[in-house]
Amino acid sequence: MTGPLIVANVSGFYGDRLSAMREQLEGGQVDVITGDWLAELTMLILGKDQMRTGGENLGYAKTFLAQLRDCLGLALEKGVKIVSNAGGLNPSGLVAAIGEIDTGSGRKPRVAYVDGDDLRASGLFPGALTANAYLGAFGIARALEAGADVVITGRVTDASIVMGPAIHHHGWTRDSLDELAGALIAGHVIECGTQATGGNFAGLFDALRDGRLKDPVKPFGFPIAEIASDGSFVVTKHPGTGGLVTADTVSAQLFYEIQGSTYLNPDVSADLTTIAIEDLGDDRVRVAGTKGLFPPAQLKVAVNELGGWRNQVEFVLTGLNIEQKAELLRAQVDAALPPELKHSWSSYRTPAADSSTEEGAATLLRLTAWSKDADAVGRAFTAPAIELVLASIPGFHVTAPPGKPSAYGVYRPQYVDRSEVTETVHLPDGDVESIPGPDRTERTGSAATGSRESAEGAHEGVGRVAAEPDPGGPGRAGPTRRTPLGDLAYARSGDKGGNANIGLWIPAGRPDAAVEWLLDTVTAEWIRHLMPEAKELDVEIVPLPNLRGVNVIVKDILGAGVAEGVRFDPQAKAIGEWLRSRVVDIPEEFLR
């Protein structure tokens, strides 16, 4: 039996902290460096990058290359492997760039890469700017088996860059379903960098109050997963780094961007209802018990298309008569715009009365327009708005001069049979191998980056409450207090295409009865009541009692996804915090 594999994350997105790779290499023992540089939006950015220049050497994450220039020699010296999906749309181009790095020792790294995900030339998705199937982890494992120091991939699942090294280290096969599922969850927890160590954590200020978080200004340490041979793992970070690792910071990431009770992956599906979390203290949390299921029959494909052009103007409303000012301004602009132009107005808040600062007495009213025609959202859009500068509400001004239209994309998930995709690994010695798929799959779903369209055991709760429910929900007997939901529950929210997911859970240390109350209270109608935007939308509730909470999926609230970006919060990053601010009836016994 092999010892644990120590996998360190150094990036959660394209643009993350550049110093993270050196911090992880110098901070303590690690066996493998990984990081996530890709997202649905990133693939669009890389596609537009290639479209603008036509360059064969573009289409990969250049920030990763900057990290390697700084740290590749150190990694080789320490014997630390590097696995990265920063290859994006052009993994071979990134490999060529890596070959030009001076490691300072004269030693050249053995570099391999995995591709086969790019389906633009397949004819399956005509007109797509990008079309990439989500590949699994066995190509990565094969590259490491062949002695690669660095493995570059295109669009693999976020967790695959963690699973691949674990497969190689522990000798797992495709039949090692529970072990693979455990590594899948390990990859999901650490894939978003410091979100697992206190970043974007709803309990951040609680941790400050009780002293668990000592210095919030100190840069949060990036996460580390110590993966055992049975697929269980410990989440931690290097000693002395900022942030914290607790059962709740890990739970927050487990809830992030999931779409059901089964987390799908090309190599295995993980049953989220079987996960057990144990806080070991000292920034160490153990995750075990994950049950593995056969992977889905199809692969998910992330398709990005150019959707058109958009532009916006932000008007400032100040002082008295805010509602009347907004109403008049909207009426004037709407009358001046071409009637066929698609546009939307943001909501606005009423400023504080008798503010001691002008900014405190002001609010913003945002107008966004979009069209297939760039000229329609150029001067034809901005001129009618700006021409009102001397002929409209008192105090009229805008936050900035009108800008030029910007292109936006539309993301849509598609699914293909595995036979349409050939996962290929290019080994350090130049050999090229195809990676065979699993022998057995399930036809009950389609592979995603960690989501399921519907979940077994999910309940909507429609009809369990009245059409205009009490925002406290069915609840429990006994006295209640009207207070923000966040006084009891934590939340983490995010996007998956046009859907928003919101994980709601009861923090560790609160009574189990509070978990029962949450599971009983959170229904689709209750969510629609608290989130009027979702009134006409499909809302799915997935209970996860082992994680002390529920996953809420609000479908299509984000339209065509973050690339279109018309909604105020296009990636649903703060929907969870908004929901926590809503006032509901909570049993007093849980608030003591």
Question: For 244, how many CA atoms within 13 A lie in the half-sphere containing its CB?
Answer: 26
Residue 552: helix, strand or coil by DSSP? Answer: strand
pLDDT of residue 352: 84
Q: Which residues contact residue 565 at a Cβ distance below 8 angstroms, ignoring those fewer than 6 apart?
A: 310, 408
Angle at CA 436, nearest 5°, toward 433 and 439?
165
Residue 233: helix, strand or coil by DSSP? Answer: strand
* Angle at which helices 247-255 and 177-190 cross, to 10°: 100
Residue 33: helix, strand or coil by DSSP? Answer: strand
The alpha helices in 237-321, defined as continuous H runs, are: 247-255
- Are 522 and 458 in contact by the 8 Å Cβ rule? The answer is no
pLDDT of residue 459: 28
Question: For 340, how many CA atoms within 13 A lie in the half-sphere containing its CB?
Answer: 5
CA distance 29 to 543: 38
The owner of tokens 């292109």 is: 407
Q: Which residues contact residue 212 at a Cβ distance below 8 angstroms, ignoring those fewer than 6 apart?
A: 244, 246
CA distance 535 to 542: 19
Residue 34: which H helix or E strand, with range? strand 32-35
CA distance 389 to 374: 24
CA distance 411 to 497: 7
What Cα–Cα distance (Å) separates residue 1 from each residue in 81, 167, 172, 228?
21, 13, 11, 9
- Are 386 and 75 in contact by the 8 Å Cβ rule? The answer is no
Closest Cα partner for 86 from 110, 67, 103, 109? 67
Residue 564: which H helix or E strand, with range? none
pLDDT along the chain (592 residues), means of 10: 94 96 98 93 84 72 95 97 96 96 90 97 93 97 98 97 98 98 98 97 96 94 98 98 98 92 97 98 98 97 91 95 96 95 88 92 94 95 94 95 88 93 97 96 56 30 35 64 97 91 96 97 97 94 97 89 66 93 96 83
What the chain holds in terms of domains, given with CATH numbers, is 5-302+415-446 (no CATH), 304-410 (3.30.70.360), 480-590 (no CATH)
Tokens at residue 40, please?
């649905």
Closest Cα partner for 221 from 24, 410, 384? 24
Q: Which residue pairs from 364-367 have beta carbons closer than 8 angstroms and sit at least 24 positions apart in sequence?
A: 364/314, 364/315, 364/316, 364/317, 364/399, 365/314, 365/315, 365/316, 365/317, 365/326, 365/329, 365/330, 366/312, 366/313, 366/314, 366/315, 366/568, 367/312, 367/313, 367/314, 367/315, 367/333, 367/343
CB burial of residue 569 (10 Å; 0-12, 13-18, 19+)? middle
The alpha helices in 400-532, defined as continuous H runs, are: 512-521, 524-530
pLDDT of residue 350: 85
Phi, psi of 434 (to 5 degrees): -90, 140
